[in-house]
């Protein structure tokens, strides 16, 4: 739905839409403030895939910028991976109509993925690595200071459980990170937003969605299983998913078992002292190396 189409909503629908938009704006603004995602003078590259999440991210950031206390630039960047049948005119037409600066990176990663990944295997891992490399290169060449991705709260939780169940690690998807080469800052402004709210927003706005058909239907992927698990939990125990996300923001290293996060050996020095162990990383540990 374009801005003009939004005006065609009934009074009740417009009221509900305004509430939804305000909620997404508020949560996005809180995430940006909490993690220091955007600073004055930043050039923010919104990675626009054509999916509901990245469209919503772009829309909300543009809306927030109108009243932001700082000035920053936004550019939308899409990667045309040369998938057969990819509607290459959809995004340029939409962005041009909205008057949004954009750039389309044309690179045939489709052929690479299809050649390298065996038939029937998941293509998402290789596809995302290739995309990331191309986006990082564009950012470096065009003065981009922040790379904004459309991952939301549900993505973060799904990643947490994927790592827990299949990777043997307690890690999720951080709202803000520094790339491995220390050159790029990646931000996820929708980190506090629920997928169902984003889905509802995208449907009302009627964004011209472009499905990812590179790998065909992969409904049985592990991530889909995590999504189903979380939806079942929320249905049976309302509030559980929110509590789990809150837990990710309240980590107690001394109550886990990672010796790199907490100096358990030093506890002997506190015996009988009356002092409590400090919940912090051992001195000298480089947090950026983790």
Is the same domain home to 210 and 261? no
Is the same domain home to 282 and 226? no
Give the pairing of strands 43-47 and 73-80. parallel
Is the same domain home to 275 and 223? no
Place of tokens 């886990």: 256
Is the same domain home to 61 and 102? yes
Is the same domain home to 174 and 275? no
Domain housing 192? 3-244
Give this prediction's pTM.
0.86
Is the same domain home to 277 and 135? no
Is the same domain home to 232 and 261? no
Is the same domain home to 47 and 171? yes
The count of structural domains within the chain is 2
Is the same domain home to 60 and 152? yes
Q: Give residue-wise pLDDT tens across range 171-230.
A: 999 999 999 889 999 999 999 999 999 999 999 999 999 876 655 445 447 888 999 999
Is the same domain home to 125 and 261? no
pLDDT of 7 reads 61
Is the same domain home to 239 and 257? no
Is the same domain home to 136 and 269? no
pLDDT of 27 reads 98
Residue in 19, 111, 25, 105 with CA at minimum distance from that of residue 63: 25
Give the pairing of strands 102-106 and 176-178. unpaired
């Amino acid at each position: 739905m374009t801005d003009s189409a939004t005006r065609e909503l009934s009074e009740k629908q417009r009221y509900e839409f305004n509430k939804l938009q305000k909620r997404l704006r508020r949560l996005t603004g809180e995430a940006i403030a909490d993690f220091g995602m955007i600073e004055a003078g930043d050039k923010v590259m919104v990675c626009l895939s054509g999916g509901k999440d990245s469209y919503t991210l772009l829309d909300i950031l543009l809306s927030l910028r109108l009243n932001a206390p700082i000035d920053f630039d936004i550019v939308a960047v899409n990667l045309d991976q040369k998938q057969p049948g990819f509607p290459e005119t959809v995004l340029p037409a939409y962005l041009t109509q909205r008057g949004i600066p954009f750039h389309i990176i044309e690179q045939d990663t489709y052929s690479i993925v299809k050649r390298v990944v065996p038939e029937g295997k998941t293509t998402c891992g290789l596809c995302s690595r290739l995309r990331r490399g191309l986006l990082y290169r564009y950012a470096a060449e065009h003065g981009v200071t922040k790379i904004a991705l459309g991952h939301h709260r549900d993505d973060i939780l799904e990643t947490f459980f994927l790592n827990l169940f299949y990777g043997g690690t307690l890690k999720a998807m951080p709202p803000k990170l520094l790339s491995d080469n220390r050159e790029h800052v990646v931000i996820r402004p929708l980190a506090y937003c629920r997928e169902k709210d984003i889905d509802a927003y995208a449907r009302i706005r009627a964004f011209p969605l472009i499905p990812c058909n590179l790998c065909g239907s992969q409904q049985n992927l592990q991530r889909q299983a995590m999504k189903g698990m979380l939806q079942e939990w929320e249905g049976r125990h309302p509030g559980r998913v929110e509590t789990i996300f809150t837990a990710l923001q309240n980590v107690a290293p001394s109550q886990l078992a990672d010796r790199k996060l907490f100096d358990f050996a030093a506890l002997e020095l506190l015996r009988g002292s009356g002092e409590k162990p400090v919940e912090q990383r051992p001195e000298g540990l480089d947090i950026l190396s983790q």
